[in-house]
Structure 1
Amino acid sequence: MTGDTTDDATPGLGASQVVLEARELTKTYTSGDRPLTVLSYVSFAIDAGSTNAIVGPSGSGKTTLLGLCAGLDRATSGGVTLDSVRLDDLDEDGRARLRNERTGFVFQTFQLVPTLSALENVGVPLELRGERSAMQRATEWLDRVGLGDRLHHYPSQLSGGEQQRVGIARAFINQPRILFADEPTGSLDGQTGAAIEDLLFEINAEAGTTLVVVTHDDELAARTGRVIRLRDGRIVEDSGHLSQDEVAK
């Protein structure tokens, strides 16, 4: 279902296997006495192993949509199925367990724990699962992202690019079914951001992980196999797929 791209490798996965489905997602906040709807009846399905970008201007609802798909927030109406699990059927603790077991996250602002070393930050997802090999695997992942000599450095001792490499290692360490990246290069300069993009897509292709990137960068989006464009809380473009208006028919 996804478009042809050299970055969209999907070893061993059938193109028809859906790992994420959003159906008629609507999110409304209360702003003073007035409701503010930031997403309106958004529907799509994402295939396992595919690479996808959610793009749009500021305020279009893309980060809100990512939060709903990842189970970080609840929709006002509609639903999300993540790796065959309906998020509406889970309480907050259940959604947290699902995220830790089956998803990974890369954030614009890195979201590293400042009091933990790079090694400890990367090992957190496995530590939460009680895995004894957490630190050994964290060491291997830091080597993989080129930070084998920074294991015991704290975030404040690392450059922005190095912090994002730690974030990428942390995101992949639990072998997630799907990885969500919210503006992964947004806090980096052009050269550093390009290197981080290359690393993210390289590791993702090796792992065959489903990738969903939220970005305002059309060049980054073009590296994915599918682009979902939002405007005013609605899908206005979905490359190679039905538009939102067509889905609603």
Structure 2
Amino acid sequence: MSTILKVEGLSKTYQSGSKSLQVLHDISFSIQAGESLAIVGPSGSGKTTLLGLAAGLDQSDAGNVEINQIKLNSLSEDDRAQVRNEHVGFIFQNFQLIPTLSALENVMVPLELRGDKGAESVAKNLLKQVGLAERIDHYPSQLSGGEQQRVAIARAFSNEPKILFADEPTGNLDEETGQKIEDLLFSLNREKGTALVLVTHDAELAQKTDHVIHLKGGKMMESSLKASIAS
């Protein structure tokens, strides 16, 4: 298997007036194609900051990030955006669908921005895979939370990403719906061979991944292999 994400010595400090707040301290880990990894820890431990840095949404003060063997730290913002467009998918807690577009159109947006031909056909197939073949013309306001997250998952897989980043993907869902979304996410991850990195407060969800990173106060307290119980 090839290494899809490699994080080495990652540190991040934010300035607040005259004060400095170091939110991440010397974080290192890697994940292979087809593997899954959970980032867990209390609120304020740096989980979302780490996710953003690993995905190339922000730059660290120290350390290096490689996605699919591309070093991000030396790239311009435009070049990092290009790497994200070509190699990365995102799923957020609040779905982030465009309210004025149908489910089909929401999935088609990144495909059309890339200039992909056959965007509608690809989007319809993805929505079928997530169980929404009969809901493609519905708008977000006409869909349940679980259905909106399914649309978001279909959109995340639209560029055939090498790695998927998910920030509390079941955080706004009830337990039963969240379980269905988890099953779908891991099923697609296996099927597509996509690396999966997720931030979660849900211990049971974290236990389903191959690796778990525990953060506290911006420091990595431990990293464990959970392949024997991975979904």
Q: TM-score range by the shorter chain?
A: over 0.9
Q: C-alpha separation between the residues in 2 aligned to 1:45 and 1:198?
A: 24
Q: C-alpha separation between the residues in 2 aligned to 1:224 and 1:234?
A: 20
Question: Is 1:56 matched up with 2:46?
Answer: no
Aligned residue for 1:192, secondary structure, equals helix
Question: Is 1:212 matched up with 2:197?
Answer: yes
- Choose from 150, 155, 166 the match for 1:181: 166
Question: Is 1:202 matched up with 2:183?
Answer: no
Q: C-alpha separation between the residues in 2 aligned to 1:36 and 1:101?
A: 33
* Deviation digits for residues 161-193 of structure 1 (CA, Å, limit 9, x no counterpart): 000000010111211100011100000011110
The aligned residue for residue 109 of structure 2 is 124
The aligned residue for residue 110 of structure 1 is 95
Q: C-alpha separation between the residues in 2 aligned to 1:25 and 1:190?
A: 34
* Residue pair 2:37, 2:198 contacting (<8 A) in 1 also: yes
The aligned residue for residue 61 of structure 2 is 76
Question: Is 1:170 matched up with 2:117?
Answer: no
Gaps of 5+ in 1: 1-13, 242-249
Q: C-alpha separation between the residues in 2 aligned to 1:91 and 1:209?
A: 25
Q: C-alpha separation between the residues in 1 aligned to 2:82 and 2:118?
A: 19
Per-residue deviation at 1:240? 3.6
Q: C-alpha separation between the residues in 1 aligned to 2:191 and 2:31?
A: 19
- Choose from 131, 134, 146 the match for 1:149: 134
> RMSD of the alignment, in Å?
1.2
Q: Which amino acid aligns with 2:94?
A: T
Per-residue deviation at 1:83? 0.7
Gaps of 5+ in 2: 227-231
Q: C-alpha separation between the residues in 2 aligned to 1:217 and 1:225?
A: 15
Aligned residue for 2:124, secondary structure, equals helix
Q: C-alpha separation between the residues in 2 aligned to 1:159 and 1:45?
A: 35
Identical amino acids, percent of aligned pairs: 60
Aligned residue for 2:190, secondary structure, equals helix
Q: Which amino acid aligns with 2:194?
A: T
Per-residue deviation at 1:159? 0.9
Q: Which amino acid aligns with 1:234?
A: K
Aligned residue for 1:170, secondary structure, equals helix
* Deviation digits for residues 124-163 of structure 1 (CA, Å, limit 9, x no counterpart): 2211110111111101111111111111111111110000
Give the TM-score of the pair, scaled to structure 2: 0.95
- Choose from 96, 103, 108 the match for 2:81: 96
Aligned residue for 1:60, secondary structure, equals coil
Aligned residues: 226
Q: C-alpha separation between the residues in 1 aligned to 2:24 and 2:100?
A: 36
Q: C-alpha separation between the residues in 2 aligned to 1:225 and 1:131?
A: 33
Q: C-alpha separation between the residues in 2 aligned to 1:92 and 1:117?
A: 30
Per-residue deviation at 1:194? 0.6
Aligned residue for 1:89, secondary structure, equals coil
The aligned residue for residue 238 of structure 1 is 223
